[in-house]
Chain A
């Protein structure tokens, strides 16, 4: 069964098309990379998939059920780390995580345990600072913790690795691998193609305006294999991405 199925998704802002007839299927238990250049509609797509935005047209199914912004039951089974992190700045990390835990239906004892464990694991034990006083990397860790505290079945991560130190990234990768090994699904956007290449089983690449240009299995790249496309052989994700989204050259003499 597919954890996520998008059919003919369209999102328009007035006359501006942000996502154009996007169809996609993400198998259960996979680590799925969703890639595209800046402004190609990745965050808009995630917004539609998580209930932040209303699609103009199209159908979204998550865990086999139709999804829209009011699907509270499905939202309980999803974890989301949004682009803007969505943190309530005047709160302490433990207060914020406890709030999220409660909203997702965790009981008091379980919330208490999970908050403590997450704070320990993510090295967020400085309880003298509110979220507004945290560094960008620490804020990102808190947002990640909030996305996973209720053990979701599908996890949406929008640029999760930016601003996090290498040790933190390694920890997140380890968690995400274990997450998918348990049969759960991760939908991830990132500009760090090396990380996506090592972490993801499959990717979809979109280009402006939200048009799918390629979707496929990239696990071969991890075993020194190659992806055949357009009569060319690609041994890494980056050249394939640049080929699909258009390589750009600009000769600036003064630079």
Chain B
């Protein structure tokens, strides 16, 4: 194994990252990211890990606290990786690495080491170290074994996330993959909801589950940190076994040849669904809308997200609507969840419209059209793809919501969905122009958005979900079905914002086309 060359390649990865900071946007992103990471590290190390260690000892339940902290961290890192795509994109591909004189095993090690040293994974690692240090300071754990345990856990966590990610990715390449995934999510969501009920009626099941969980990596590491002698060694052995098994699973999964979905070839058609829908926007924009719709429809990740949008909407309503047997609390949660669901499937494209077209970007300026049409038709397509979810979600609400049917609630939910759709797509126009980033159209997992894109996506989601709850506290009339007609106001304001954004960004688009071209073609 040529570790010197592997080290050089890892350094190259960071040199490339550093090279991005030569641009103004890159420097701003670096400053914000660096500042946030520093603050987070201090918070995690200080308040999180150390605090948890102290609490663990003071409560006399060191292992239990360590179990909970490490277990939830393990799960959260996995979910953040697979759902949000953090920590998955900082990676050379095997094809890229083939140009260097490194063997298959060295390429594998390089790829995963490069991904493992992503700042995202370090945040989790810092919290785990904080816990070990906290336990050591108060005399409830060994520093040496603890550090080894969390180091192994950290690698196992990464491997587990990667195995899960590759598994989902491979599944998505099959025709029924999205449906299977949707069924699995439904199953997990419904199953998780039943856990308290099962435990209440069968306490022995809880004990049995806890015994089983002892053989998982985070609880193995917790035992290694808080116990001594044989129990600590057994805990370490569990983590090592998982590590080996996960590495083997990852190698096996990655070796399986990728199966690309073959879309049916079509004859030259001027009457496809895309053209017909595009036709709603007039003769000039119709071919462009049809083009964008094809662009959306042929993307595996988009199709997956469309299918997942409704289950996620259900989950958000269920998770944020408390108490759950009260229709009003569910309604408040649904008011926030509707806009999020309509934006979820299209978000990646609508906040970075041109980031995935590559060299085709310049085609828009070679066509005998007003180039602004490329921007507005992309946005129309995004809304055409996200908008129908409002109807589906409204039907789902009408059928599944507890209590008698209330048309006023339905009206408010639809208005909220429309307001969210227009506002978030309006913001997407701005980020597409001001914060573009070159992405990979075929990438099924990973977060490849710019800082601005992430702010709209994550920030927009947080604002949408929390706003109805805040309003319910401070101005309950605004979210009350009694004043249902007030819901027109945010939708109308959103429409104004969207129209304004279309006009303003259209002009900006023409002015900034050279910078955009450089970014989306990978030169800036």
Contact = CB atoms under 8 A, between A and B. Distances in A.
Contact of B266 (A75, A84, A95): A95
A130 B441 contact: no
Contacts of B291: 88, 91, 99
B287 interface: yes
Interface string A105-135: 1001001100110000000000110101000
Interface string B282-310: 00000110110011001100000000000
A92 B267 CA distance: 10
Interface residues of A, number: 40
B366 A80 contact: yes
A235 interface: no
Contacts of A86: 359-363, 366
Nearest to A105: B368
B357 to A, nearest CB: 7
B360 A94 contact: no
Given A52-B362, A88-B295, A89-B358, A104 B265 contact: no
Contact of B359 (A84, A112, A115): A84
A70 B370 contact: yes
Interface string B495-523: 00000000000000010011001000100
Contacts of A108: 270
Contacts of A73: 368
A98 B272 CA distance: 13
Contacts of B295: 88, 90
Given A72-B368, A95-B266, A98-B268, A82 B362 contact: yes
B262 interface: yes
Given A86-B363, A103-B287, A75 B368 contact: yes
B369 interface: yes
A53 interface: yes
A82 B358 CA distance: 13
Contacts, number: 93
B265 A53 contact: no
A127 B266 CA distance: 8
Given A92-B265, A112-B268, A128-B265, A52 B360 contact: no
A208 interface: no
Nearest to B442: A132
A8 B72 CA distance: 67
B252 interface: no
A231 B510 CA distance: 48
Contact of A116 (B268, B299, B510, B521): B268
A173 interface: no
A105 B284 CA distance: 10
A132 B262 CA distance: 12
A2 interface: no
Given A92-B265, A115-B268, A87 B359 contact: yes
A129 B362 CA distance: 23
A60 interface: no
B1 interface: no
A88 B287 contact: no
A209 interface: no
Interface centre among A53, A73, A105 (most CB of B within 10 A): A53
B365 interface: yes
A99 B510 CA distance: 22
B263 interface: yes
A85 interface: yes
B368 A104 contact: yes
Contacts of B517: 52
A51 interface: yes
A75 B298 contact: no
B176 interface: no
Nearest to A70: B370
B359 A85 contact: yes
A88 B297 CA distance: 14
A169 interface: no
A244 B295 CA distance: 46
B367 interface: yes
B268 A111 contact: yes
Given A69-B510, A98-B268, A128-B265, A90 B366 contact: no
Contacts of A53: 514
Contact of B287 (A70, A76, A102): A102
Given A53-B514, A88-B291, A88-B363, A98 B270 contact: yes
B366 A72 contact: no
A132 B356 CA distance: 13
Contacts of A84: 358-359, 362, 521
A130 B291 CA distance: 14
A92 B294 CA distance: 11
Contacts of B361: 86
A100 B290 CA distance: 12
A201 interface: no
Interface string B17-56: 0000000000000000000000000000000000000000
Contact of B268 (A70, A85, A94, A103): A94
B365 A69 contact: yes
A54 interface: yes
A83 B521 CA distance: 11
Contacts of A100: 367
Contacts of A105: 368
Given A52-B362, A69-B365, A72-B369, A92 B510 contact: no
Given A51-B365, A86-B366, A99 B287 contact: yes
Given A84-B521, A87-B360, A90-B298, 8 more contacts: A52-B513, A52-B517, A54-B514, A73-B368, A84-B358, A88-B363, A89-B360, A94-B268
Nearest 3 pairs between A and B by C-beta? A84-B359, A86-B363, A75-B368
Interface of B: 262-263, 265-268, 270, 287-288, 290-291, 294-295, 298-299, 357-363, 365-371, 441-442, 510, 513-514, 517, 521
24 contacts: A51-B365, A52-B366, A53-B514, A82-B362, A82-B366, A84-B358, A86-B361, A88-B291, A88-B357, A89-B358, A90-B294, A90-B441, A91-B291, A91-B294, A92-B265, A95-B268, A98-B270, A104-B367, A104-B368, A108-B270, A111-B268, A116-B268, A130-B298, A132-B442
